[in-house]
Structure 1
Amino acid sequence: MMAMCRSNDCSVIAYHEVSIERLFQLEKRRFAHVLEHAGPALPGEIANLGATMTTILSVGHQGIDGLMRNRALLHAGFGVVRKHLIVLSLDDDLCLNHGGDRNCHGGASMSFAKAVDLLRLAMMATSRQGVCLSDVEAEFGGVRRTAQRMIAALEEAFPATEHYVGDDGRHYWRLPSRAVAPLLTPSAEELVSLKSAISELERVDMNGEAIQLRSLERKVRALIPSDRTLRLATDEEALLEAMGFAARPGPRPSMNEAVDLAISEAIKGPFELKIHYQGRGDAKPTWRTIEPLGLLLGSRRYLVGIDTAKRDGRYRHYRVEDIMEAQVQAKIFAYPDDFDLREYATRAFGSYHHEAEYGEVVWRFSPEAADRAARFQFHPRQEIEHLDDGAMLVRFKASGHLEMSWHLYAWGDSVEVISPSGLAAMVHPYRRSDFAALP
């Protein structure tokens, strides 16, 4: 462990396979090797660093306690390193590289990646259960010995780390959240991503989820130290300005916030939901009670559910914008064991399901459009075939010919429907050759 100490604290800047005791047991001749390799690049600075490090090493020989009493000295030494973008690499041979020079023993210079990994490990350890060695191996891709060294570094950097044996017989290490909270100020990029996610949820009318995420955003911002708020706000504003898509214009179905919140609450229950709904064939809206199973998102939003008055084994779709009012009921229902919303969604091209249309779909994109079409995922289970003439075939199974037609119109005469014939009849008469660009 190598430490960079300030006047009032000591924070880890890099972790490697040597302990702090070993670091300060290094002989002066080994540091002379450092000066020899880096001296030509920064002669004046290395001379100053050499004098400082000589004193530091002599203090280190007196023991760690002696070193900790000279934090200002240690900080001064590593301050020179940071100022000139020099990175100390600790291995069996101590080596100092400048500007990414990899010629010294062929070893890459040590960056702050180890410190980042240690901070990631600390965040993992703040979970309720903490982390075990298997968790560390899975997260960082190392072997058991590497995981043990990282745990040792965690305990040394964060003395508040707790060790216990779980019910499964494994050893766990847990860290109180307060121990790492001061190190976890969100970045401007993270705040912008959070704001963008809220905007995207609102764009697709998932207002219940957007409200919850906005509440989370307020809590995160409340925890940011006041001295960092202004700088983050400035960076965030610049990033948002560059990411104009955060408020994309375009057509969208009407929204009813009260209905969205009721649907969200009912799905999470799961509770029965009473809706005032007017279907396509209904002369006027009627009240009906359903068991909501999930939402399908597309050009329109559909609530998938079971009509409690029609227990016929069918899953019905209710267009969310056609729900005038929604009331969450106190009755809890049993979610069907054989229903998987993700699997169910793959049976349609968009959000509209039509069981009579379900079957194989094959499209052929012209050689001119093949490269562009290859960048699209038309269906989660599509199969792609590149033909000798440069064209491309796309195959998948789904229903929803109307939504397919809406999409294929944008491709003009660059696409041909091979099957089914019903979809071909809907698309081919309206293909155009005068579109200035492809999707």
Structure 2
Amino acid sequence: MFERDNREDEAAELVTLAAKLKALMKPDVARRVEPDLEALLEAEGLAMRPGPRPMIDTDLVQELRQAMITCSKVKLRYRNRRTRQANERIVHPYAFLHGHRNYLIAWHEHPKANKVALFALPHIEAVDATGEPFVRDPGFQLQDFAARSFGLFQDEPFQTAWKFAPDAADDAAEFLFHPSQAQERLPDGSLIVRFVAASELEMAWHLYAWGDKVEVLEPQKLAEMVNPGRVAWPALP
């Protein structure tokens, strides 16, 4: 935005300030605020996130954001991805979860549900305010909820271990695959990364990009999904 308005000096100052803030932070704190700094730079027109992404109605997102801030129940018209049928659902909006898809995290108010659930933002066709307040579940913590998964899918977390080849180890060491990860360098230069999360499918999607430079050591189910189909790609992710 600053650059578009011929305000290059202010644009440069903002980028420099972001870099200084990150440099002054402890590594664990910097990792937590990194997405916020990226969002700030994107909003100011100083950064771009390339690649495919779902199309989302920003007006609906704004309505949900307002409901989160005011703790107000909303009625969603939500389309099921498999059946393509749309139904109305009363939810308590808690937060958004962003990844290869974008989701609303909300308490689903229904006799057969009454639990925190994910709703894909592109499948929300309408949002109507009910005028009724809700009380957030005091036991819900967004960071804990997100940490259960490697990506977005919520399932039972499991221990996983990936071994990166010596010529890919330095690149892999620059990735934060999961907040709980631990890294181990082996004498031959290879790197083992271990962490606890779900799900196998999202891990497999990512691991295919590393081709024959990674081997899944555990669990067996993930190893069977990934190891036989590894490809020698001409570059690393």
TM-score if structure 1 supplies the norm length?
0.45
Q: Report Cα offsets for 1:141-162 as digits up to 9, x if no partner.
A: xxxxxxxxxxxxxxxxxxxxxx
Distance 1:329 1:413 in 2: 53
Conserved in 2, the CA contact under 8 Å of 1:367 and 1:389? yes
Matches within 5 A, 1:66-81: none
Larger radius of gyration: 1
The answer to whether the aligner puts 1:436 opposite 2:237 as a matched pair is no
Distance 2:84 2:122 in 1: 17
Task: State the structure with bigger RCO (CA 8 A, min sep 6), 1 or 2.
Answer: 2
Distance 1:275 1:312 in 2: 15
Rate the CA distance shift 1:344–1:254 in 2: closer, same or farther, 3 A. same
Distance 1:288 1:266 in 2: 15
The answer to whether the aligner puts 1:361 opposite 2:184 as a matched pair is no
Corresponding residue SS for 2:177 = coil
Distance 1:423 1:310 in 2: 35
Matches within 5 A, 1:8-47: none
Conserved in 1, the CA contact under 8 Å of 2:109 and 2:115? no
Select which of 336, 349, 355 maps to 2:137: 336
Q: Report Cα offsets for 1:369-423 as digits up to 9, x if no partner.
A: 1111001100011011111221111111111222211111110010011111221
- Partner residue in 2 for 1:189: 12
Select which of 390, 415, 419 maps to 2:214: 415
Distance 2:183 2:37 in 1: 36
Residue identity (%): 37
Select which of 378, 384, 408 maps to 2:177: 378
Conserved in 2, the CA contact under 8 Å of 1:279 and 1:318? no
- Partner residue in 2 for 1:254: 55
The answer to whether the aligner puts 1:200 opposite 2:47 as a matched pair is no
Q: CA deviation at 1:328?
A: 2.6
Corresponding residue SS for 2:105 = strand
The answer to whether the aligner puts 1:427 opposite 2:226 as a matched pair is yes
- Partner residue in 1 for 2:152: 351
Corresponding residue SS for 1:247 = coil
Between the two proteins, the alignment pairs up a number of residues equal to 210
Conserved in 2, the CA contact under 8 Å of 1:352 and 1:400? yes
Matches within 5 A, 1:58-207: 187-191=10-14, 197=39, 200=42
User: Which amino acid is the alignment partner of residue 284 of structure 1?
Assistant: Q
Q: CA deviation at 1:282?
A: 3.4
Distance 2:64 2:13 in 1: 29
Distance 1:379 1:248 in 2: 20
Rate the CA distance shift 1:294–1:197 in 2: closer, same or farther, 3 A. closer
The answer to whether the aligner puts 1:323 opposite 2:132 as a matched pair is no
Q: CA deviation at 1:361?
A: 1.1
Q: CA deviation at 1:280?
A: 2.9
User: Which amino acid is the alignment partner of residue 223 of structure 2?
Assistant: A
Give the CA RMSD over aligned residues. Answer: 2.4
List alignment gaps of at least 5 residues for structure 2.
1-8, 19-35
Q: Report Cα offsets for 1:20-67 as digits up to 9, x if no partner.
A: xxxxxxxxxxxxxxxxxxxxxxxxxxxxxxxxxxxxxxxxxxxxxxxx
List alignment gaps of at least 5 residues for structure 1.
1-185, 202-213, 215-239
- Partner residue in 2 for 1:31: none
User: Which amino acid is the alignment partner of residue 225 of structure 2?
Assistant: M
Corresponding residue SS for 1:265 = helix
Corresponding residue SS for 1:315 = strand
Q: CA deviation at 1:283?
A: 4.3
Q: Larger strand proportion, structure 1 or 2?
A: 2
- Partner residue in 2 for 1:302: 103
Distance 1:354 1:266 in 2: 27
Distance 2:80 2:65 in 1: 21
Q: CA deviation at 1:247?
A: 3.3
TM-score if structure 2 supplies the norm length?
0.80
Conserved in 2, the CA contact under 8 Å of 1:265 and 1:328? no
Select which of 387, 391, 398 maps to 2:197: 398
Conserved in 2, the CA contact under 8 Å of 1:347 and 1:398? yes
Q: Larger helix proportion, structure 1 or 2?
A: 1
Conserved in 2, the CA contact under 8 Å of 1:291 and 1:308? yes
Corresponding residue SS for 1:353 = coil
Corresponding residue SS for 1:370 = helix
Q: CA deviation at 1:270?
A: 1.2
Q: CA deviation at 1:429?
A: 2.6
